């Protein structure tokens, strides 16, 4: 007598299965599980090995770029681009191993390309901006720049962003599209910079004495360049002070040290020479009855 297995269907009906059919279903389920498990295991192995290879290739690329003494901005841009491409290839390999047809996957990406392109139009602009920056080099890694009221040292140039480190050690990410189309002030491009002070002294002070003392202070600082020559002139007769302009040229690397040190020297020397610094004053005349 043939035994029957009674199963309850989704609609509540009783379904009869012969033992042979049940064994075949079970065998098919086992075959599917073994095949799926093998694919998943293979995908995991590809992921682990792929990540190792990507890390190895990135390190080798970094050594090659450094050995060729390429610009640091170009190095960071190329490393970032190669990293994205290698990870994309790894994703395609994993998807293929899982049994998804790569042709169908490519067709899906192509069909979604327009929508993705529209959504990533800003990033595509940033990518193009990064290429423009690398070609025309308005700045390089290590330069101090000013853009959109943000000042900082260029730390890295990536494919979509330029990373700045501010004076108080904040990290700022600025899109390359903005940098390539905006106004950039590069303080590190030239070897020399001009430093300027406007010093107010009291009315009644001998200006020739003020100029002589100022030039003596400037001559004592060896960081101040002789060419162009230091400039000292009477700037303006202000409401409460006589303003004297002092301009000198220094190496770009010495700019801030000279600026702050000279403030200290001017203050100390002028006081020692009897040159007073005025306070705001207001003269009031009282009308007589």
Mean pLDDT across the stretch 139-152? Answer: 90
Give the model's confidence band at 12: pLDDT under 50 very low, under 70 low, under 90 confident, else very high.
low
| Of the candidate ranges 87-101, 207-221, 256-270, the one whose mean pLDDT is the lowest | 87-101
How do beta strands 150-157 and 161-165 pair? antiparallel
User: 61-98 pLDDT, tens per residue?
Assistant: 888 777 777 667 667 777 777 888 888 888 877 877 77
| pLDDT tens-place string over residues 91-109 | 877 877 776 665 655 666 6
Integer Rg of the chain from CA = 37
**Helices assigned H by DSSP within the chain:** 19-67, 72-97, 102-111, 113-119, 121-136, 176-181, 207-220, 255-272
Instruction: Provide the b/e sequence for 156-172 (b: ≥16 CB within 10 Å).
Output: bbbbbbbbbeeeeeeeb
> Angle, to 10 degrees, between the axis of helix 72-97 and the axis of helix 102-111?
120
Quick one: pLDDT band at residue 240, thresholds 50, 70, 90?
confident
The pLDDT mean for the chain works out to 81
Q: Is the dihedral of CA 136, 142, 145, 148 positive or negative?
A: positive
- Tell me which CATH code domain 192-272 carries: 3.30.70.100
CA 274 to chain centre: 50
Domain borders along the chain are: 27-111, 125-186, 192-272
Q: How far apart are CA 62 and CA 25, in angstroms?
A: 54
CB of 177 within 8 A of CB of 161? Answer: no
pLDDT for res 1? 47
Distance CA 216, CA 200 (A): 18
Mean pLDDT of 33-57: 80
What pLDDT score does 226 carry?
93
CATH architecture label of 125-186:
Roll (2.30)
CATH topology of domain 27-111: Helix Hairpins (1.10.287)
Between CA 106 and CA 101 the distance in angstroms is 9
SS3 state at 278: coil
Query: Length of the chain in residues, anyone?
Result: 289
What is this structure's pTM? 0.59
């Amino acid at each position: 007598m043939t035994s029957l297995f009674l199963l309850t269907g989704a609609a509540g009906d009783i379904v009869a299965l012969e033992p042979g059919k049940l064994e075949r279903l079970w065998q098919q389920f086992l075959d599917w599980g073994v095949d799926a498990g093998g694919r998943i295991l293979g995908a995991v192995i590809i992921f682990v090995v792929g990540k190792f290879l990507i890390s190895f290739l990135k390190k080798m690329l970094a050594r090659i770029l450094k050995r060729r003494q390429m610009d640091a901005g170009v190095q960071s841009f190329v490393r970032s681009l190669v990293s994205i491409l290698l990870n994309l290839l790894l994703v395609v390999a994993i998807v293929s191993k899982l049994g998804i047809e790569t042709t169908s996957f490519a067709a899906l990406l192509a069909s979604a390309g327009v929508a993705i392109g529209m959504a990533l139009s800003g990033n595509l602009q940033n990518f193009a901006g990064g290429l423009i920056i690398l070609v025309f080099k308005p700045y390089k890694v290590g330069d101090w720049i000013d853009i959109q009221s943000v000042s900082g040292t260029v730390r890295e140039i990536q494919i979509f962003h330029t990373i700045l480190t501010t004076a108080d050690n904040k990290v700022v990410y600025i899109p390359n599209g903005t940098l390539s189309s905006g106004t950039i002030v590069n303080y590190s491009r030239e070897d020399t910079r001009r430093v300027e002070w406007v010093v107010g002294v009291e009315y009644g002070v001998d200006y020739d004495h003020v100029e002589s003392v100022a030039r003596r202070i400037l001559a004592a600082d060896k960081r101040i360049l002789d060419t162009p020559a230091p400039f000292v002139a009477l700037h303006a007769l202000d409401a409460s002070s006589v303003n004297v302009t002092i301009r000198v040229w220094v190496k770009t690397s010495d700019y801030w040290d000279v600026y702050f040190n000279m403030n200290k020297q001017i203050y100390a020397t002028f006081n020692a020479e009897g040159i007073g610094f005025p306070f705001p004053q207001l003269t009031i005349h009282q009308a007589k009855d």
